[in-house]
Amino acid sequence: MAPTMACVSSADAKIDFHQGFQQFAWRVPVAMLTRKLAALTGEAIDGPLNFTAALDLQTPNGRALREILSNLANAANNLPGPAGRLVLAELEQALTTSLLVTGTHNYRPILDGPVRGIAPWQVRRAEDFIEAHADDPLTVEDIVTATGASARSVFRAFAEHRGYSPMEFLKRTRLKRARLMAESGLPALTVTEIALSCGYGDLSRFSKDFLAAFGETPSTVLRRHRSVY
Q: Identify whether residues 2 and 105 lie together within a single domain.
A: yes
CB neighbour class for 120 (10 Å; exposed up to 12, middle 13-18, buried from 19): exposed
Q: Identify whether residues 109 and 148 lie together within a single domain.
A: no
Per-residue model confidence (pLDDT) at position 187:
83
pLDDT tens digits along 19-51: 777 778 888 888 999 999 988 888 888 889 989
Answer yes or no: is 13 within a domain.
no
Q: Identify whether residues 76 and 120 lie together within a single domain.
A: no
Q: Identify whether residues 179 and 128 lie together within a single domain.
A: no
The range of the structural domain enclosing residue 121 comes to 115-163
Amino acid at 5: M
Per-residue model confidence (pLDDT) at position 7:
85
Q: How confident is the model at residue 218 (pLDDT cuts 50, 70, 90)?
A: very high
Per-residue model confidence (pLDDT) at position 89:
84
Answer yes or no: is 19 within a domain.
no
pLDDT tens digits along 113-137: 888 888 888 899 999 999 999 988 8
Q: Identify whether residues 87 and 1 lie together within a single domain.
A: yes
Per-position DSSP letters for 83-135, written without gaps between them? HHHHHHHHHHHHHHHHHHHHS-BTTHHHHTSPPPP--HHHHHHHHHHHHHTTT
Per-residue model confidence (pLDDT) at position 182:
93
Determine the Cα–Cα distance for residues 128 and 226; give it in Å rounded to an integer: 32
Q: Identify whether residues 86 and 184 lie together within a single domain.
A: no
Q: Within 10 A of 42 (CB to CB), how many other CB atoms are there?
A: 18
Answer yes or no: is 14 within a domain.
no
Answer yes or no: is 22 within a domain.
no
Determine the Cα–Cα distance for residues 79 and 194; give it in Å rounded to an integer: 17
Q: Identify whether residues 106 and 123 lie together within a single domain.
A: no
Q: Identify whether residues 109 and 152 lie together within a single domain.
A: no
Q: How confident is the model at residue 171 (pLDDT cuts 50, 70, 90)?
A: very high
Last residue of a domain, one of 113, 130, 145: 113
Q: For the chain, first and last CA: distance in Å?
A: 62
Average pLDDT over residues 202-220: 92
Q: Identify whether residues 106 and 119 lie together within a single domain.
A: no
Answer yes or no: is 92 within a domain.
yes
Q: How confident is the model at residue 53 (pLDDT cuts 50, 70, 90)?
A: confident
pLDDT tens digits along 174-202: 999 999 999 987 888 899 899 988 988 78
Per-residue model confidence (pLDDT) at position 176:
96
Answer yes or no: is 217 within a domain.
yes
Q: Identify whether residues 2 and 85 lie together within a single domain.
A: yes
Q: Identify whether residues 92 and 192 lie together within a single domain.
A: no
What stretch of H or E contains 54? strand 54-56
- Please give the residue that has the higher pLDDT: either 8 or 175: 175
- Give the residue from 155, 152, 60 showing the smallest Cα distance to 112: 152
Answer yes or no: is 62 within a domain.
yes
Q: Identify whether residues 148 and 193 lie together within a single domain.
A: no
Q: How confident is the model at residue 211 (pLDDT cuts 50, 70, 90)?
A: very high
CATH code: domain of residue 199: 1.10.10.60
How many domains does the chain contain in total? 3
Per-residue model confidence (pLDDT) at position 99:
92
Answer yes or no: is 202 within a domain.
yes
Average pLDDT over residues 210-220: 95
The percentage of residues in the chain with a pLDDT greater than 70, rounded to a whole number, is 97
pLDDT for residue 166 is more than 80: yes
Per-residue model confidence (pLDDT) at position 98:
92
